[in-house]
Each structure stands twice: as structure tokens, then as C-alpha cells.
Amino acid sequence: MYDVAIIGAGPSGSWLASRLAERGHQVVVLEQKKGWGEPICCTGIVSQECVEHYAIEDSVIFRRANSARVFSPSGKLLRLWRPEPQACILDRPALNLSLARRAQEKGAEYRLNTPVRGIEVEDNAVSIKTGDGEGQVEAVKARAAVIATGFGSKLVEGLGLGKFGDAVAGAQAEVATNGVDEVEVYLGQQIAPAFFAWLVPTLPQRAIVGLLSRRRPGFYLKNLISSLKAQGKITSVETGLSYGGIPLRPPARSYSDRVVVVGTAAGQVKPTTGGGVYYGLLCADIAADNLGQALKNDALSARNLANYEKEWRERLGWELRIGYWARKFYERLSDGQVDRIFDIIKNNGIDEALLKSDDLTFDSHGKAVLKLIGYKALSRIVEIVKLPFPGRSDTSRKFDSFEEAAEKNERRKQESGPG
């Protein structure tokens, strides 16, 4: 019997496999894909901090980025720029392979072409039903299971841990470009309803074009590709469209007896941008510490694993809640209001101020959101939208209401002078 069976060989599953294997646990990773080269619906932008923290190999990095061009619905441009690289664009299949290799070097076993159909929690073990599409082939036994299946698997729900509170759909394709070498972001209800679209350069003359959207991602992506072709930015589409999704709100729980859920399957994704690689890795570290201890003590009840959820929510809960609020706020804006916000940001130098401060980083947006809504020039739009601010139930930070948060922000602004 294995100590742990990890379902899903994405970044979260493989990083957790590494961390548990290096503690001497017997780990098996069960992955439904047949090979490492299969396309992944993920653009692969992560922060420079993520690359450094997890020592992501250079060979996996397409390029580094220190700027982005953000276009409003009517085409107004905001160029966000910092002197140092802020993000790295990764070859996503290569990242998965690289993290899996590291886990294998630590002793984890990998089984590809092994889709998991269900998990049964028994008194002293978990029994994991795997299948090959033509019926059940094997039950893998382990002392504990980790669900790291990303978006779209029913395993979490099947264990009664709940569903995503909200989610959006995504699509992307690889394209040849006419030398686009800055990340571009496009806003607008006609471009990507409720979210945004992007063109992200990878290799020279190549890019990934993609979007996340409330509805019909394929339809909107095809429209965007036509428009970018007409503008001369895209010359040809090199792959078919791939589809995915991201949760905007986590399921109710990320643990039960002998089971933990990690990564996108647990809703550990930024609702502001849809980025989930770094949050998944961070939470895999938290899971490794808690599950590792529980395995050592042979104390694998839900009660003993509850600290995992407490810790990751302490780390990310506030960001997820403010981020979700910001996402819903954006969703309520008309294209005209988004354009107006662009004008206000540019005319008041808000972009410059944010970029100079530490409030806006690639991975945490909560402070920048609070700062933005605290600006007097933007308060009229905030009032019109009338979206109640997150309440007190969060365990990590306490903001009673929008008013209180705005008040605190106002105070912070006064203390730190104009800006």
C-alpha cells in the first residue's frame, strides 16, 4: 500500500509529490493524460517570484516580461511597466514534465494514462478506482489521497466537499505573430464578457492568444483572432483551440478523512486574473507540511487535516475574497464605464502611483483594489455599481464592510501622503 496517491500530475500534484517523497513517504501520482506533450489550456505566465521561489528551470522559460499593454474596450492604452522583470512566460507542458522529474528523483512513482473514476474512503485506507475508458482496471490503495485534478473533475463533489461557488470558462490557441513582443490584455464585454483576453508572446514570432469569459469562450476567441489578424498582429493560427476553466470561488472544503484537495481543484486561483500555478504550488507546500505530519502520526482524520485548510485560507483567503469582489465589480461595469476608469487612471497618474508602490504585485491584488476604490476620482463609479464589500466571515483579515475598508484606505492614503 502507498502512503499517498496523488490524482493529477499538474504543478500542484507534482510539487506535493516531491515534498512528500523527500520526507520518505511512498507516493504514487495517477495522471489521466497519456503523455507529457499533450496540450494544456494554460498560458503559463507566472511571477518572477514564483520562478525564484520554486527554482523553476531556465529551460522551461520562454521569456521574461516587465511590461504589459492593457487596452480598454474602445482601444485606449495603458502601458504598465517596471524596470525589473515581473513575470515569466513558461512552456506549460515542459513545466509539468520538469516538476514530475523532480518528484521522480525524490522517489515518487508516476502512472500516466490512469484516469481516476472514484475514491472510496475506508477505515484504514483509501481505495482509488482507476479506469482506461473501457471499464475499471485497478483499485490503487493508499493511506491517503490528494485530489489535484485542476478544473472540471467531479471527484471533489463526489466526496461531498462541495462545488466551485462560481467559475468562468476559457479558451486559447497558439498563433504566429508579426513580432508582438509585449504582453497585451484586451478588455470589453464584446471581447471577453466579465473577464479579459490576452496575447502573450512565447518564442520569437509566436504567441498564445486566449481569454476567460462568462460564456462562449470559443466564439469570443475566434472573434478576437479575426480582429487581431485584421490589425496585423496575428499572421496565422498554429493549433486548434483548447478549452478549460477556472474557479472564481473555492468549494466549501478542501479536506476530509484521509483526503486533501490542492490547487485549482481547491479553488486556489486568483479571481482577478485566473492565474493558479503559483497559488497551487504555495498550497501544495502547506498541504505537504500538514499531510506529512498527519502521515507520520498516523492521524489522518478530517479533524487532523483541518489545519491545512485553515493555513491556506489564512495565506490566501483575503486575496481570494477581495479578488472575487473586484471580479464581480468589473462584471457590472459597462464598456463606457471601463473606458472612463482608464481616463481617470491616466489623468490622475494612478497607474504610475500603483506601479511605484508595493501595493500592486503580480500575485496579490487585494491591496491595489483597496487603493483603487479609495481614490476620490473613482468613488463615483464605485457608488453607482453598489456592490457590497466582503463581510466579516473571513478568518484572515477583518473588513466589516465596504465603508470600513474605504475608511481604512483613506486613512492609509493620508498617512502616506498624496497619490
Ligand X SMILES: Cc1cc2nc3c(=O)[nH]c(=O)nc-3n(C[C@H](O)[C@H](O)[C@H](O)COP(=O)(O)OP(=O)(O)OC[C@H]3O[C@@H](n4cnc5c(N)ncnc54)[C@H](O)[C@@H]3O)c2cc1C
Binding site residues, ligand X, CB under 6 A:
7-13, 30-33, 41-46, 115-116, 148-150, 153, 170, 172, 210, 212, 244-246, 263-264, 269, 274-278, 280
Beta carbon of residue 56, minimum distance to ligand X (angstroms, whole number): 12
The answer to whether the beta carbons of residues 7 and 13 sit under 8 Å apart is: yes
The answer to whether the beta carbons of residues 261 and 147 sit under 8 Å apart is: yes
- Nearest to 4, CA basis, from 123, 282, 21, 111: 21
- Nearest to 145, CA basis, from 273, 345, 327, 295: 295
Q: Which three cell numbers stand for residue 348?
A: 490622475
Beta carbon of residue 275, minimum distance to ligand X (angstroms, whole number): 4
Beta carbon of residue 298, minimum distance to ligand X (angstroms, whole number): 26
Please identify, using beta-carbon distances, which residue of 31 and 339 lies nearer to ligand X: 31
Please identify, using beta-carbon distances, which residue of 15 and 399 lies nearer to ligand X: 15
CA angle (331, 188, 224) in 5-degree steps = 130
| Torsion over CA: 347, 366, 276, 18 (sign) | positive
3-state secondary structure at position 135: coil
Beta carbon of residue 130, minimum distance to ligand X (angstroms, whole number): 8
CA angle (282, 283, 284) in 5-degree steps = 90
Identify any residues that bridge with 242 across adjacent strands, giving them in sequence order. Answer: 172
* Other CB atoms within 10 A of residue 38 CB: 13
Beta carbon of residue 215, minimum distance to ligand X (angstroms, whole number): 14
Please identify, using beta-carbon distances, which residue of 263 and 271 lies nearer to ligand X: 263
Beta carbon of residue 368, minimum distance to ligand X (angstroms, whole number): 18
Please identify, using beta-carbon distances, which residue of 73 and 276 lies nearer to ligand X: 276
Q: DSSP letters along 374-399, please? A: H-HHHHHHHHHH--PPP-TT-SS---
Please identify, using beta-carbon distances, which residue of 11 and 317 lies nearer to ligand X: 11
Beta carbon of residue 103, minimum distance to ligand X (angstroms, whole number): 12
Please identify, using beta-carbon distances, which residue of 39 and 419 lies nearer to ligand X: 39
Please identify, using beta-carbon distances, which residue of 267 and 366 lies nearer to ligand X: 267
